[in-house]
Amino acid sequence: MDVHGLSAKELEIKPQKVLLIGTLGSGKTTLAEYLARDTGFPYASIDGCRIRYGDGTVSGEDSAWDHFLIVLP
């Protein structure tokens, strides 16, 4: 069935990135690894940017996220 003249294929959601946010130990990494394996999405982690750009402060965390979001595939 068409919705406003669009086919089901045209209505299909085609995300380019998925950002998982949650508390420590909630399973974000595990879910990300499953998604990468099952969908072919590339996997990236904020941890490397935290090590390189963060310093344990709120501004350091902001800097790490800024760099992380820029370099995501």
User: Minimal CA–CA distance to 35: which of 51, 17, 49, 55?
Assistant: 17
Q: Report d(CA 46, CA 68) in Å as an integer.
A: 6
pTM of the predicted model, to two decimals? Answer: 0.54
pLDDT above 60 for 57: yes
pLDDT above 80 for 52: yes
Categorize the per-residue pLDDT at 17 as very low, low, confident or very high, splitting at 50, 70 and 90. confident
Task: Please identify which residue in the block is written with the tokens 């990236």.
Answer: 44
At 59-73, the pLDDT tens digits run: 999 999 999 888 765
Tokens coding 45: 């982690």
Q: Where is pLDDT greater, at 11 or 53?
A: 53
pLDDT above 90 for 19: no
Residues paired with residue 3 on neighbouring β-strands, in sequence order: 6
The one-character DSSP state at 16 is: S
Q: Report d(CA 3, CA 47) in Å as an integer.
A: 42
